[in-house]
């Protein structure tokens, strides 16, 4: 199966951005690990990061034509703002897991609401970048069960 991992704004800075919150691994470290884990399990993992809402929406629309079976998304700050990104995911009807590196519920009140959680298959947050590995494990189980 094909699994698309999407990362939103500022996650290109992973490894250098507020390392006490987000850790020392770079986004490239994380992506390479996921691609490798996918391969080992016999699945195709694709990754995409953008700081632009428009590009993330376009990538989700393209996923439909590419027969992507499952999406893992860290919408980053768009979690708390983007009806458009939510609508894109609902529009293509590809099941997804929402993921956050930090525990958003321990942080500022404006991070407590997500436009994605009620329509996600599941949500992972607060487990650091390990959350990506856990999300991929869960995604693989989901696609193998389908």
Q: How many alpha carbons lie under 13 Å from residue 101 in its C-beta half-sphere?
A: 23
Verify binding: residue 76, ligand DQA, rule CB under 6 A: yes
With CB under 6 A as the contact rule, which of the stretches 43-51, 88-96, 99-107, 133-141 interacts with ligand DQA?
99-107
CB of 100 to ligand DQA, least distance (A): 4
Verify binding: residue 114, ligand DQA, rule CB under 6 A: no
Residues contacting residue 128 through CB under 8 Å, at least 6 positions apart: 22, 23, 101
Active site residue 61: no
| Lookup result for tokens 């996921």 | 34
Gyration radius of the chain over CA positions? 14
| Lookup result for tokens 């956050």 | 100
Q: Of these residues, 43, 100, 115, 132, which one is catalytic?
A: 100
Active site residue 100: yes
Q: Of these residues, 22, 43, 115, 132, which one is catalytic?
A: 22
- Residues annotated catalytic, as ranges: 22, 100
């Amino acid at each position: 199966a094909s699994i698309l991992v999407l990362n939103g704004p500022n996650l290109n800075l992973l490894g250098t951005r507020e390392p006490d919150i987000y850790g020392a691994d770079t986004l490239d470290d994380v992506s390479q690990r996921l691609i490798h884990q996918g391969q080992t399990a016999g699945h195709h993992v694709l990754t995409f990061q953008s700081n632009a809402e428009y590009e993330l929406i376009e990538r989700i629309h393209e996923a439909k034509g590419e027969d992507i079976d499952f999406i893992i998304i860290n919408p980053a700050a768009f979690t708390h703002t983007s009806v458009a990104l939510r609508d894109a995911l609902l529009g293509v009807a590809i099941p997804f897991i929402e993921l956050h590196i930090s525990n958003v519920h321990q942080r500022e009140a404006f991070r407590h609401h997500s436009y994605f959680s009620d329509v996600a298959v599941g949500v992972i947050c607060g487990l650091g970048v390990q959350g990506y590995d856990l999300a991929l494990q869960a995604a693989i189980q989901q696609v193998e069960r389908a």
